[in-house]
Structure 1
Amino acid sequence: MAIISRLEQIPVNRFHYKLLLLTGFGWLFDAMDTGIIAFVLPVLAKEWGLSATQIGFIGSIGLLGMAVGAVLAGSAADKFGRKAVFAVTLMIYSIATGLCGLAWNYESLLVFRFLVGFGLGGELPVAVTLMAEYSPPASRGRFIVLLESFWAFGWLAAALISYLVIPRFGWQMAFFIGALPALYVFFIRMGVPESIRYLIHKGRQAEALEIVSRIEREAGIEPAAQPVANAKAIVPNSPAQKLAFKELWTAQFAKRTMILWLIWFGIVYSYYGIFTWLPSLMVKQGHTVIKTFEYVLIMTLAQLPGYFSAAYLVDRIGRRSTLAMYLALSAVSAYFFGQGGSAEIVLLWGSLMSFFNLGAWGVVYTYTPELYPTRIRAFGSGWAAAVGRFGGILAPTIVGYMITGPQGFAQVFTMFTGVMMVVAVAVWLFGEETKGKALDEISS
């Protein structure tokens, strides 16, 4: 029996949940470091006298770093391994977050935020690729959406740190706390295995066979006898084959690449445009900083049921239907949120927007690595994420310009409504369905 077949026939067991937790905490720390800047900006704008345009640039520079990191880390992960790149990128963004607390002016903060973004952008596609390559086909969607759900816990941590720490100890302390995840690298080195598909692709069948046998024993399955020589027969490509950008645009992958890039651009544009600015936008609407932090904390809590509902649906009704539905409903919620109103109305539509937008994110991370083969899975996922980051680069800056007008708040959210609705229609019309299929079956 081929090693990959043995891996995919192992039922969900303790190993899969342990891997989910190990990669999930990396995801949580990623979100925490991303979220802290959103809560720091209103305070920093007042202390440093920053303009709306400068605030937008602070948000955008991190996204530029994420775009560069996603491409380089995706390539590195297909060359050097998922585990090593996962650990290195986590170390980079954690240390850089701590350096943000030492920023002495606007320009130095921009440099440090670029480095934070570089590490963050590198980690995300690598972590999801690793989780996707270990998840059983029938449960892969659920596991990836659950992995993405750790993002909500990270934003909750950022909100709590900001609510409890910034008013008492200043914005610098929030960044120093954000450096602590660097210590988590030791847990990654000890507990996260290298990808089986990566090992086989690189000709390291003995290591792959040993890991699969260990997982089988944990699941109560007696490992089958399989000589390493037989395992070599399933190597899909020569280890010497080089990655090529043009392969993403061959007849086999061009449509997939195009729709993924559109999805990523639209969802990143809307998410970072909305949530990077959300505390600042609400302060501009007349809410106090403390009250704003409370409102955003409540909206962030709504992300959790959004993820869990998407995790339930993605392996039942499919990736395409779930993603299109959640994007469309997020668009509707954004429109009504932008109309303002009482605190209760703002919280209702803000929470629904958060619920559906983050649920859609979980499906995107499930869908992306499924559409490429092992040899370019992290590479293709990294490029899709990088294109999305350019959407994130544009959004905070565009919001900074739009918000200065008399109807700026409503116009900003009308714009995001249109973007998300266009992507929802594109997914419904042109997206492929990958529910329940083995990775090699989808990408071949």
Structure 2
Amino acid sequence: MSSLSTSGTMGLAAPATSSLGSCTTVSTIAGRLERLPMTSYQRGIFAIIATAWFFDSMDLGALTFVLGPIRQSFGLSTSQTGLLSSMSFLGMFIGAASAGVLADRFGRTRIFQVSMIFWGLGSILCGFASSVETLAAARVLLGFGMGMEFPVAQSMVSEIIPANQRGRYIALLEGFWPIGFIASGILSFAVLSFADWRWVFILQGIPAIFVLIVRRYVPESPRWLASHGEAARADAVMSEIEAKVSQRLNGAPLPAPVPQSIDQQQSHGLSTLFAPGYARRTVMLWCLWFFALLGFYGLTTWLGALLQAKGFAITKSVFYTILISLAGVPGFLTAAWSIEALGRKITLIGALLGAAIACYFYGAAADQTQLIVAGLCMQFCAFGMWSALYAYTPELYPTQIRATGTGFASAIGRVGSLIGPSLIGFILPTAGQSGVFALGAGAFVTAALVVLVLGEETKGRTLESISQ
């Protein structure tokens, strides 16, 4: 950077030298990270990020379990209920789009911490909402924090975990979403038995204080530091990580680092998303996220209310929703194995098509047994889809724009999330539940076809090699 301030004939040559030095630093840092064996230190960082993800997922899943009581509390029509349920996705759209750019500009850990403050405050404000308008505004704020957190967490994990285990750990990270969803259901089930829906949101906002743990124990991504020319900080953080890994290995020497091949054409800015080599990936991811999230959130947000419409009491509909969601746990565990054993594409396509088939049978279920079996299959495949989706997305962009690319893909998905619940609110009175689940199935099939035609396999490749 100092060469940029020099005058005379040196000025023209400075950018190339600076770029070359930055590439060398990124190559070295990547090599040092990739050669590290997995120890309790990296797993500890992962556990902290995953715990924050878990709390965030609890807040996101809460509306599924309390939408029925909220609808009764404010006397909402089906279309009004659909619009209310979409408000958090509007916030997630804004949060995801902005967080990616901010995380690539200011760092992963800073934006991750800020996101936790937003969703915690938004959840508590939901509990104190005095009207449906203030509740909708609080849901936008809550969604904004959630939308910020998800793409940044993906980038953080993908940049710390070595290539041979990266997909599995990101899939496991996403697995905390069904666990959080189930935990939210259990909390809602317990709270609704003696209090109203407001206490569900208030209690779920308290864990935002976990931000203090993140601030203390989660380091900034050395890859990000190196890519932004902060060689000294990158080396210091990397040295600290190496020391702690070595300590977990009882002082055993670490394997020799192998510098990674780096594209010397440094990638920066939104235009890179549609530059040669990335445009196809961006189109594929945006279509995938849009249709997958339209189908998933359109169905999941209404799941409790749909069960209630079939004649179940509020508490019973919560119980059945929890029961169905339990299938998400083996779903994400299966995906975590499959994406490393079989690959990202086949896992995604299989999960999406499986979810589509299950949607059809769920909508056509004639009795309670068929409803539960089809629902279990649907959630198994849907949560497996989520794990593969989150593992796949951050791998397709270089470090300089990883959070930006992931954030914008997520933001496009939130457009689908925004449209899905509202669309179902209008479809349900005319086409009935079979029409609702036909819409979900069609969205999943479309997403699978996009991956089949435009997707590329990334299994076993380092982030740097994928970016070539």
Do these two structures clear the TM 0.5 threshold for a shared fold by scoring above it? yes
* 1:37 partnered with 2:76: no
Which residue of 1 is the match for residue 19 of structure 2? none
- Does the alignment pair 1:47 with 2:73? yes
Tell me which moved more, 171-180 or 123-132: 171-180
Aligned pairs for 1:8-23 (under 5 A) are 8-23=34-49
Report the equivalent of 2:422. 397
**Per-residue deviation at 1:382?**
0.4
Task: Report how many aligned residue pairs link the two structures.
Answer: 435
Q: What amino acid is aligned across from residue 440 of structure 1 in structure 2?
A: E
Residue 171 of structure 2 corresponds to which residue in structure 1?
Answer: 145
> For 1:311 and 1:234, how far apart are their aligned partners in 2?
28
Residue type of the partner of 1:81? G
- What does residue 219 of structure 2 align with? 193
Which residue of structure 1 lines up, in the alignment, with residue 286 of structure 2?
A: 261
Aligned equivalent of 1:315: 340
Name the SS for the 1:293 alignment partner: helix
Residue segments in structure 2 that go unaligned for 5+ positions in a row: 1-26
Instruction: State the partner residue of 2:381.
Output: 356
What residue is the counterpart of 2:466 in the other structure?
442
Measure the CA separation in 1 of the matches of 2:91 and 2:270.
Answer: 20
Shift of 1:246: 2.1
The whole-number CA distance in structure 1 between the counterparts of 2:172 and 2:360 is 27
- The residue number in structure 1 matching 2:4 is none
Which of 128, 145, 148 matches 1:102?
Answer: 128
Q: Deviations over 1:291-324 (max 9, x none)?
A: 1111111111110000000000101110001100
Task: Give the alignment of 1:42-441 within 5 angstroms.
Answer: 42-217=68-243, 218-219=245-246, 220=249, 221-222=252-253, 243-405=268-430, 407-441=431-465
CA distance in 1: counterparts of 2:225 and 2:84, whole angstroms: 39
Q: Alignment partner of 1:167: what SS?
A: coil
Native 8 Å contact 2:35 2:255 kept in 1: no
1:181: how far off? 1.8
Partners of 2:343 and 2:458 within 8 A in 1: yes
Task: Report the alpha carbon displacement of residue 237 of structure 1 after superposing the two structures with TM.
Answer: 7.0
For residues 58-115 of structure 1, the C-alpha deviation after alignment (integer angstroms, 9 at most, x for no partner) is: 1111111101100111111001100010010011011110000111111111111000
Per-residue CA deviations over 1:395-421 (Å, capped at 9, x if unaligned) read 00110011112x410011011111111
Structure 1 position 282, deviation (Å):
0.8
What is the rounded CA distance, in whole Å, between the counterparts of 1:390 and 1:367 in structure 2?
20
2:82 aligned counterpart, secondary structure: helix
The alpha carbon displacement at 1:427 in A equals: 1.0
Identity of aligned residues (%): 36
Task: Select the structure of larger CA radius of gyration.
Answer: 2
Task: Give the counterpart letter for 1:158 in structure 2.
Answer: S
Amino acid at match of 1:337: Y
**Shift of the alpha carbon at 1:160?**
0.8
Q: Distance in 2 between matches of 1:248 and 1:143?
A: 25
The two structures have a TM-score, normalised by structure 2, of: 0.90
Contact 1:201/1:237, CA 8 A, preserved across alignment: no
Shift of 1:210: 2.6
Between the aligned partners of 1:18 and 1:323, the Cα distance in structure 2 is: 28
User: Does the 8 Å CA contact 2:61/2:180 hold for their aligned counterparts?
Assistant: yes
Write the distance in 2 (CA, Å) between the matches of 1:154 and 1:29.
7
Q: In 2, Cα distance between the equivalents of 1:223 and 1:364? A: 32
Gaps of 5+ in 1: none
Q: Compute the displacement of 1:245 (Å).
A: 2.1
Q: Cα distance, 1:223 vs. partner?
A: 6.2
Structure 2: distance between partners of 1:264 and 1:367:
11
AA partner of residue 346 (structure 2): S
Whole-angstrom distance in 1 between the partners of 2:108 and 2:271: 22
Tell me the alpha carbon deviations over residues 315-361 of structure 1, each in whole angstroms, 9 at most, x when there is no partner: 11100011001100010001100012221111111011001011011
> Matched residues in 1 for 2:108 and 2:264: separation?
18
The answer to whether the Cα contact below 8 Å between 1:152 and 1:304 also exists between their aligned partners in 2 is: yes
Name the amino acid aligned to 1:7.
L
User: Cα deviation per residue 1:113-150 (whole Å; 9 max; x = unaligned)?
Assistant: 00011110010000010000011101111000000001
User: 8 Å contact 2:327–2:379 — kept in the other structure?
Assistant: yes
What is the TM-score normalised by the length of structure 1? 0.95
On the 8 A contact 1:129/1:377 being kept in 2, the answer is yes
* Structure 1, 14-23 or 314-323: larger mean CA deviation: 14-23
The letter of the residue matching 1:277 is W
User: Secondary structure at 2:192's aligned position in 1?
Assistant: helix
- Whether the 8 Å contact between 1:39 and 1:279 is mirrored in structure 2 is yes
CA contact (8 A) 1:138 1:436 kept: yes
Alignment-mate amino acid for residue 155 of structure 1: F
The aligned amino acid for 2:437 is F
For the 8 Å contact 1:66–1:389, the answer to whether it is kept is yes
Matched residue type, 1:252? G
RMSD between aligned alpha carbons?
1.8
Q: Which residue of 1 is the match for residue 20 of structure 2?
A: none
